[in-house]
Structure 1
Amino acid sequence: MYKLPDRSSGTSFDTIGILTSGGDAPGMNAAIRALVRAALNQKIKVYGIQRGFAGLIGGDMRRMSSASVSNIIQRGGTLLKSNRCEAFKTVEGRHQAAEALRKKGIQALICIGGDGTLTGAHLLARESGMTVIGLPCTIDNDIYGSDDSIGFDTAVNTAIDAIDRIRDTALSHERLFLVEVMGRKSGFIATQVGIACGAEMILIPEYPRALDSISHTLASNRKAGRGSSGIIVVAEGTEPGLTERLAGYLRQHGEEPRICILGHIQRGGSPTGHDRVLASCMGATAINYLQAGYTDVMVATLGRELIPAPLGDITARRKHDPRLSELVMLLHK
């Protein structure tokens, strides 16, 4: 259980807005539920903004009640829908968004999403003076300033469950399986999944390696009887076709690898208990932060503590944990 911060109330809000943006992640609905109910308990009216920043610019907002968030904590996806909005990336688009909020009487905005969403939230706060709080919600867990993000635990467990099933076939046929997980710029999913599944090798964007060298090593290990699980976990990376290219090199070395791309299966499904609790704690804390006068921050985790982290840091710095990579190397020597 996360320790909730104790912040004295110094700011009064009458009406707030909530939106989800970017890629969906398990736990978004749990966060929405917590935000709505925590706000209503403080006599704050809540508007749910449909389809992220696109809906905000278009003024698509609906009043939310306690009943409107009943029975959603266990559901994947997002009740408010999501979208990627090119218009919001412009100053003019963000100006339209701020005007739409003011026209509706909304005094503060809470944005739930990943780095793109939180970057947009920061720009909106800086340019318009609007009170904005962010919640890190991405299966990649790549948000700088927070140890954890809503949806990451579910995505990892979904991938682990799939790989545990794949392993049965890999061992039965003594064949390599290349399992591709999400992670274009971040290898957090691949690393944790690979460690948990005892993968023979883990490939992540942070440590690019030559595919011909990797395939030679894997094939040599197999011939020498040093192969174990038959599972190779590959983060998708920024260039399409990475896993297929690796398979091609392995075929040149006499292997018959199989490819399994988990794709969007990692985004869906019921959130784990961890993600439900994390989202609930972050949602309640966001309302606490608003009343304490915070703005342009996100609710972040540091160990078991919830802390305010500046939204501006998200674009300025990248998250990286070398300890996990060191563990990967240690367990595969």
Structure 2
Amino acid sequence: MSNSWTVSSPGAGSLRLASMTLEDVAVDLYGIDPSEFVAARAERVAAAKKAGDKQLATAIGKLRKPTVTAWTVNLLARTVPDEVNALLALGDALRKAQRELSGDQLRALTAQRQQVVSALARRAGAIAEEHGKPVGENVLREVTQTLTAALADAEVAEQVRSGTLATAASYEGFGPAGPELVALDGGASPKTERRTGSRDSEPARRDTGSEGGTRAERKASDAQRKAREAEEAARRELDEARQELDDALEAVESARTALDSAKAEAEQAARTLADDEARIEELRAELERAEQQRQFARTADRAAQDELRTAQRQFDRVERWARRARARVEDLS
């Protein structure tokens, strides 16, 4: 199922994703800052569900957050793709030399491989530092191992080329490498199966010993293979546990941030309420004083009105007296 839908990427504007496939989402997600991966993945899961593509949403949800090593390799592939492609082309030549048993060519290519891988690993560290995320020696060592594995295994090489590694890869020199890769087949589990090689991939062997010796060698090889598989299984389990811890710590940090924000808002609301209540008390006191002043003013007004009426009556009496006195004077004149 494919859909055309829009989702906002962290730190970017609205992203239009047409004819969406899991590969498209993986390429997009594994190119962002690891600290934004979980939130970005959740947004794309929600967008796929909203578009009605539940199968794609489930597959996106299974995409693992890249380890620091995987992110460093992905960043290298996206920043200097030509140099990475040149390295992977060397891997094709190495695999061909192994099949054809060209010893001189194989030794020359091996020396060239070591030089190129070491140089690219250092370049990856410099690029990571340029992006504000310097990495340590352990990560650079795993970057070197991953690039070496990409030279031995075409499948790892494709993951490196596309910049969609989820974990580091390793190669011990016995058949193809077996890193835990990103599932890009519509939601299937990440591919972890190791191949032990075939007649086409292994150099032809001459019969140099007895059947018993061959059987012993085969048992030793099987024991080595089982030991490597057990070690890789333990490593994958540890990587998964670390990834789960990272996700849990991110969730805790996000929840703590939300809690701190809620506490700050609650404290601000409490301060605002206290300020408002204090202001109300002030206004009530002012209102009470104003009521008292109004009462005093009313009392003074009544007293003034009484005095005015008394003075008016007194004035009227005196005026009448004056008129009578004037009339009497006129009569006597």
The two structures have a TM-score, normalised by structure 1, of 0.25
Structure with greater strand share of residues: 1
- TM-score for the superposition, normalised by structure 2: 0.25
